[in-house]
Structure 1
Amino acid sequence: MIDSTSTAATGGVSGTAGPTVNVGIVGVGNCASSLVQGVRFYADAGTGEDTAPAGLTHPVLAGYAVSDIRFTSAFDVDTAKTGLDLSEAIWAEPNNSRAFAEVPHLGVPVTEGALSDGVGRSSSERVAARGAATLDDIVRRLRESGTHVLVNFLPVGSQAASELYAEAALRAGCAFLNCIPSTVARSPRWAAAFADAGLPLAGDDLKSQFGATLLHRALVDVLARNGVRLRSTYQLLAGGNMDFLNMQDPERMATKKATKTQGVYGGSGERAPAHVGADFVPFLGDRKVAFIRIDGEGFGGTPLEIDLRMEVDDSPSAAGNVLDAVRCLKAALDRGIGGVVDPVAAAVMKAPPVALDEAEVAAGLRALSDG
């Protein structure tokens, strides 16, 4: 088993004496690529908030620097990626995220995972999938690699596969970060299982560091605080990565619509009619274009209309929140905190089990940092 101070998978960073955050990845797609690159890119970041380079919100969080993150295991079902070192697999097609860091050999082979429902109809022609691993195989790999936090980057709609990896994390003694819209952290059964095991859990459906949901939510909140009543709203998305191709399956898109809507409204009571749509536009690559429309009613019943367009690299915008989440979950693991870690889920997820305001999130994260 890899010791917590191992430097075998440092992302090209010279190891430091002391505890590390050993991260496993399920699904070596664009988000995994941006995460692996991000650890390398920010490894030499300063330790103060005032020295943080662009894009990095917390040089040190919950006692861990970015350079403390190690990749120790990775799972995929695409035969174009399995067997490769993680540093090579992140560039394999159909991945198309932007390259912004050179990643040296990591010594972390991408292990064949479990297929289950991880590949949808729309994406099946782009992926040569196998996925014959059993639950026991995955548990064994997590234990042997010394993984602390398992990150779920499976495609939208992979409910059964998500639960399989959540079970593997439980049996291997890992924290679990569910970055997709599958119901894990929101499930009383899974929340109780992780609580009973004394293992941290956070989900569901990762927010971008600055994305359409965050901006949409901010607009809805500021209008509500100023007395504007929403009549209707929509969010239309377009992108050319595998996530958008996968969302062309209506049954898979349904889970994304549910978490997106929860992300826009949070725990508020009254909700205006809302629509979320996503189109696959191949030439956009990993760029995401979002159109947001809000119709409201202001003073004297007068109409208010907002139309907004934003464009952002999809995967790098997601990776920043994962950098924060894995460090917080490792801190929770260090302290024996089991079950859903509500401040982490509320901070980085569209559909956390419990909605917390900014002050509550900040207080919860401070408590993790202070021990």
Structure 2
Amino acid sequence: IHDKLAGYGIHDIDFVCGFDVGENKVGKLLHEAIYEYPNMVDWIAKDDLPKNEAMVYESPILDGVGVWVENRIKPIVSTKTPEQIAEEVKKIIKEKGVEIIVSYLPVGSDKVTEFWAQICLDTKTAFVNCIPSFIASDEKWAKKFEDANVPCIGDDIKGQVGATIVHRTLAKLCSDRGTKIEKTYQINVGGNTDFLNMKEQDRLASKRISKTESVQSQLKERLDDDQIYVGPSDFIPFLGNTKLMFMRIEGRQWANIPYNMEVRLEVDDKANSAGIVIDAIRLARIALDRGVGGPIKPASAYLMKHPIEQTSDAKAKDACEKFVAGN
């Protein structure tokens, strides 16, 4: 969203290491690992990507690999306990000078998310949580980050022009214009491992909460649970990184006359997310520079679906700009 944030440009970000569980990624350099199956990186040709010495290291699996994606990811067969890996990770963070950890774990990875949140607390490393396993918006974890004076931004990243940001913006518009929304849905389909993983319904509870609350928070009157559906719906392999969103709002306007609208959105799901996380990383660095710990509320409200404090996007943007300016 921003070219510069408190003087930091996107080229000021250094990728110093990565962590994964795929047997075809662990032990490789980052600029090689990102092109490994089942990743779908096609923005930059492999030979054109700048080389660096950032290595991909082992992460604990815990609950991070769902039944639908196990055959695609082919997780490494580890002989180490999570506790042993944690000690190794802490050493790597110190050796590499890691300042910020960004989590793009699969949806439903609650235990692994807590593992990395604790790593951040133990190493005084800022945490940017891009998935709907609640850390920055959870009172218990928020207090831990506050007490440790470690910044965290989360949870569940919004897209640059994504399904939820479009849905909540239009829902707020309808509400602000004095209409009464009676029901609404948002259906999403895609073809990458994110959508394949979300075929496992048991992993989706927090995702549905995150997306639904993001829309509900913009309405003057909450909809009954059976009058709103917001969530991922299915996996269509040939779509690849393309995400399709179908949204409908039904309501009543002046003189109790009904109206409805439908929107179809087509985006590259990962580029949509990358355009936001590049700001989140720099906002986390600003918080580190200023010695600010705990959930960074302006950044979380502006960039994430499930912040600890919901507000309108306009107010969140204004608060975020003030935070950057030091006000």
Q: Same fold (TM over 0.5)?
A: yes
Are positions 1:313 and 2:264 aligned together? no
In the other structure, the counterpart of 2:185 is: 234
Equivalent in the alignment of 1:257: 208
SS of equivalent residue, structure 1 residue 176? strand
Residues 37-56 of structure 1 mapped to structure 2, 5 A cutoff:
none
Is 2:221 the partner of 1:275?
Answer: no
Aligned to 1:93: 37
Q: How does 1:283-322 map to 2 (within 5 A)?
A: 283-322=238-277
Q: Specify the SS of the correspondent of 1:71.
A: coil
If the length of structure 1 is used for normalisation, what is the TM-score?
0.82
CA distance in 1, matches of 2:320, 2:161: 21
Within-5 A mapping of 1:1-371: 57-100=1-44, 102-130=48-76, 132=80, 134-266=85-217, 268=219, 270-272=221-223, 273-276=227-230, 277-357=232-312, 358-370=314-326
- Shift of the alpha carbon at 1:298? 1.2
Cα pair 1:98 1:286 within 8 Å, conserved: no
Aligned-pair identity in percent equals: 38
Cα shift at 1:253: 1.8
Report the Cα distance in structure 2 between the residues aligned to 1:280 and 1:367, rounded to whole angstroms: 39
Judge conservation of contact 1:286–1:315 (CA < 8 Å) in 2.
yes
Q: SS at the partner of 1:363?
A: helix
Counterpart-to-counterpart distance in 2, 1:87 and 1:268: 44
Root mean square deviation, CA, Å = 1.5
Q: Work out whether residues 185 and 201 of structure 1, in 8 Å CA contact, stay in contact via their aligned partners in 2.
A: yes
Q: Give distance in 1, aligned partners of 2:34 and 2:308.
A: 31
Give the distance between the partners of 2:174 and 2:44, measured in 1 at CA. Answer: 37
Q: Which runs of 5+ in 2 are unaligned?
A: none
Deviation string, structure 1 residues 226-258 (Cα, Å, up to 9, x no partner)? 111111111111100000000001011222111
Please list every run of at least 4 consecutive aligned residues from structure 1 whose deviation after the TM superposition is greater than 4 angstroms: none
Retained in 1: the 8 A contact 2:152–2:293? Answer: yes
The structure-2 alpha-carbon separation of the partners of 1:97 and 1:229, relative to structure 1 and needing over 3 Å to count, comes to farther
Three-state SS of the structure 2 residue aligned to 1:232 is strand
Counterpart CA distance in 1 for 2:8 and 2:132 is 27
Offset, 1:105: 1.6
8 Å contact kept, 1:63–1:331: no
1:360 shift after superposition: 4.8
Aligned residue identity for 2:25: K
Gapped regions of structure 1 (runs ≥ 5): 1-56
Letter in 1 for 2:161: F
User: What is the rounded CA distance, in whole Å, between the counterparts of 1:92 and 1:231 in structure 2?
Assistant: 46
Q: Deviations over 1:162-199 (max 9, x none)?
A: 00001001111100011000011111111111111111
Deviates more, 1:133-142 or 1:177-186: 133-142
Contact 1:123 1:245 (C-alpha < 8 Å) held by counterparts: yes
CA distance in 1, matches of 2:123, 2:135: 17
Counterpart residue identity of residue 306, structure 1: M
Offset, 1:269: 5.4
SS in 1 for 2:157: coil
Give the drift of 1:216.
0.4
Aligned equivalents of 2:114, 2:220: Cα separation in 1: 30
Aligned length: 315
- Aligned-pair CA distance for 1:356: 3.0
Partner Cα distance (1:281, 1:215) in 2: 22
The residue type equivalent to 1:363 in the other structure is: A
Whether the aligned pair in 1 keeps the contact of 2:249 and 2:260 (CA below 8 Å) is: yes
Asked whether the 8 Å contact 1:230–1:296 carries over to 2, the reply is yes
Distance of 1:269 and 1:359 partners within structure 2: 16
- Could you tell me how far apart the structure 2 residues matched to 1:365 and 1:253 are? 33
Spell out, residue by residue over 1:34-74, the C-alpha distance to the aligned partner (whole angstroms, 9 max, x if none).
xxxxxxxxxxxxxxxxxxxxxxx211112211111000121
Question: Which amino acid in 1 is paired with 2:170?
Answer: L
189-198 vs 101-110, greater mean Cα deviation: 101-110
The CA deviation string for residues 2-59 of structure 1, in whole angstroms up to 9 with x for no partner, is xxxxxxxxxxxxxxxxxxxxxxxxxxxxxxxxxxxxxxxxxxxxxxxxxxxxxxx211
TM-score by length of 2: 0.92
Map of 1:28 onto structure 2: none
Q: Is the 8 A contact 2:129 2:135 kept in 1?
A: yes
Return the letter of the residue paired with 1:368: V
Q: Distance in 2 between matches of 1:199 and 1:175?
A: 6
